[in-house]
Amino acid sequence: MFEDLNALSKTQKDFLFIAAWEMINCDGKPNGLELSFTTNVFKELGLNENDLVTNLEKSKAMMSLFVGNNNNIT
């Protein structure tokens, strides 16, 4: 799986992270296991914690721009 996912571009990996974040966030604030697992998976794909935080900030800004303030992303 990681071999296939590593073939994705940085932009595709960023989008995949946002999609994964939305899935783990949809039932409420993510727990420690969800955060740890997601962080570790994306580290394997070459995204560090700064990349993940940047992606979340961009996603939050886009959600705010298009649908108003969305507190579920933080």
Alpha carbon 25 to its chain centroid, in Å, reads 10
SS (H, E, C) the chain: CHHHHHCCCHHHHHHHHHHHHHHHHCCCCCCHHHHHHHHHHHHHCCCCHHHHHHHHHHHHHHHHHHHCCCHHHC
pLDDT of residue 70: 52
What does the pLDDT look like over 14-73, one tens digit per residue?
999 999 988 998 999 999 999 999 999 999 999 998 998 999 898 888 888 888 765 555
| CA–CA gap between residue 3 and residue 43 (Å, rounded) | 13
Contacts of 64 (CB under 8 A, 6+ apart): 70
